[in-house]
Amino acid sequence: MRSRTLIRVAVKSILKNKMRTLLTMLGIIIGVGAVIVMVAIGLGAQSQIEQQIQNLGTNMLVITPGSSSSGGVSRGAGSFNRLTLDDAEAVERESLLVSAVSPVIMTMGHLVGGTGNWRTAAYGVDTDYQLIRDWPIASGRFFDQSDIKSMRKVVVLGKTVADELFPDVDPVGQRVQLRHVPVEIIGVLAEKGQTAEGNDQDDVVFAPYTTVKNRLSGRSFIAQILASTSSPEDIPAAQEELALIMRDSHELAGWEEDDFTVRNQTELAEAAESTTEVMTLLLAAIAGISLLVGGIGIMNIMLVSVTERTREIGIRMAIGARGSDVLTQFLVEAIVMSLLGGAIGIGVGFAGASLIGRFTGWATTISPETVVAALVFSAAVGIFFGWYPARKAAALDPIEALRYE
């Protein structure tokens, strides 16, 4: 029997019982739609995290305090802080692979001025910080070396802080009070958005690190040191170089462990991506259960169809149809039913992903590979679960089939 004829006969047979066919395909429709939606959510989350990692900075390396231990139990990263401005100067002076370095001093405080007051994090940084973070200025300017050396009382606001204190007004040139220190706003940064952890990167104030250290913080130790390389290829070597410089700066013996941590963007991105990949696979596996249930439904209906059409099968065999012809016919019916359900499921998946993105604000990404995989899997379900009923139909004895009532 020709392929076109087989498909036409299969479609005609399927359409004889429209409601039963629809209920049979429902498992495939739900399964394919669920797989597409779940994978779209996972890929969307992964894409969003990758974008947020990129927003952190350009070829960035982060030096943070190490961990301490008590009674043989580690207190966790950052619990033992020996980072100082001397370390940042050593990195800037001795590193051959790093193109920009900035210490980071953090303090919390109220910013008073404009329409009221706002509590936020104030960071003392160097001029290279803007380059490392790849953070453009929306208005005004970032501070320069003369501001650093003279410990000028100037600040640059993140967009959230600027919007809260000076809604619909450019705050550049305005004077506010940061804790007990009057400062001048010289710039507003462009919007960065949220981090992968959901923190608002724009809810921040930047000032020269010399100003923060001497007028606001007064602490000897700093929160972290940021650095960046000219190209991504230099990051691994620069990471090793920074570790050696830091060990020498802290005068650590060969047997002593690092009292700091050097991490790069690639490590952060890989950790985030591996998490989202596991989540995507888990969601797809859960949704795939619906496909399995749908396949079982197709097998059950095909078995019922074989029983109902036993006499028809006997007539076909009596006029010359071979067992392979009958097997092919029923197998094609199962595959057509699965593919039709898969096609409808793809439409449901696109609609579901779109609705979820619209009403929840989650990022969703549908890849062509997912759509193709869904169709292939639908066909595979039809073949796998349609084989046994088709084989049973082909094995019928023509005489017994003709006698069947």
Does the pLDDT at position 90 exceed 90?
Answer: yes
For the cut 70, the answer to whether the pLDDT of residue 77 exceeds it is no
Confidence of residue 154 (pLDDT cuts 50, 70, 90): very high
User: From CA 162, how far away is CA 79, in angstroms rounded?
Assistant: 33
Per-residue model confidence (pLDDT) at position 397:
63
pLDDT tens-digit map of 326-340: 677 777 777 777 788
Domain-embedded: residue 65: no
Phi, psi of 340 (to 5 degrees): -65, -45
222/91 same-domain check: yes
Please count the helices (runs of H) and the strands (runs of E) in the chain: 13, 11
pLDDT of residue 373: 78
SS3 49: helix
Looking at residue 276, its pLDDT comes to 65
Contact 1, 331 (CB under 8 A): no
Identify the CA nearest to 378 among candidates 32, 65, 53. 32
Q: Express each pLDDT in 110-129 by its tens digit.
A: 899 888 889 998 999 999 99
- How far, in Å, CA of 405 to CA of 396, rounded? 14
Question: What local confidence, expressed as pLDDT, does residue 200 receive?
Answer: 84
Q: Where does 82-125 show beta strands of DSSP type E? A: 98-113, 116-125
Task: Give the predicted TM-score (pTM) of the model.
Answer: 0.61
Q: Are residues 219 and 128 in the same domain?
A: yes
Q: What sign does the dihedral 133-139-145-151 (CA atoms) show?
A: negative
Highest mean pLDDT among 14-18, 26-30, 185-189, 221-225: 185-189
pLDDT band of 225, cuts 50, 70, 90: very high
Q: Is 44 found in the same domain as 13?
A: yes
Domain boundary among 203, 227, 258: 258
What integer best gives the mean pLDDT of the chain? 79
State mean pLDDT over 66-84: 56
Q: With contact defined as beta carbons under 8 Å apart, do 156 and 106 qualify?
A: no
Among all chains, which residue has been given the structure tokens 């067992």? 323
Q: Summarize pLDDT for 341-361 with one digit per residue, the tens.
A: 888 888 888 888 888 888 877
Tokens representing 223 are 């929160």
Q: What are the tens digits of pLDDT across the range 276-321? A: 666 667 766 766 676 677 777 777 776 777 666 666 666 666 666 6
Could you tell me where the beta strands, DSSP code E, fall in 151-275? 154-157, 175-178, 181-189, 204-208, 224-229, 260-264
Write down which residue in 258, 284, 319 finishes a domain: 258
Q: Which domain holds residue 128?
A: 83-258
Give the pLDDT mean for 17-31. Answer: 76
Q: What is the 3-state secondary structure (H, E, C) of 243-263?
A: HHHHHHHCCCCCCCCCCEEEE
| Residue 303 bridge partners (DSSP) | none
What pLDDT is stored for residue 209 in this prediction?
93
User: Is there a domain that residue 141 lies in?
Assistant: yes
Quickly state the pLDDT bin for 243 (edges 50, 70, 90). very high
Q: Determine how β-strand 181-189 pairs with β-strand 204-208.
A: unpaired
- Indicate whether 244 and 108 sit together in one domain: yes
Q: What is the pLDDT of residue 221?
A: 83
Report how far apart, in Å, the C-alpha atoms of 225 and of each of 132, 193, 368, 371 are.
11, 22, 42, 45
For residue 138, which phi and psi values (nearest 5 degrees)?
-85, -40
CA 262 to chain centre: 24
Residue at 22 is within a domain: yes
Confidence of residue 187 (pLDDT cuts 50, 70, 90): very high
Please tell me whether residues 130 and 23 are part of one structural domain.
no
Total domains present in the chain: 2
Q: What is the pLDDT of residue 342?
A: 81
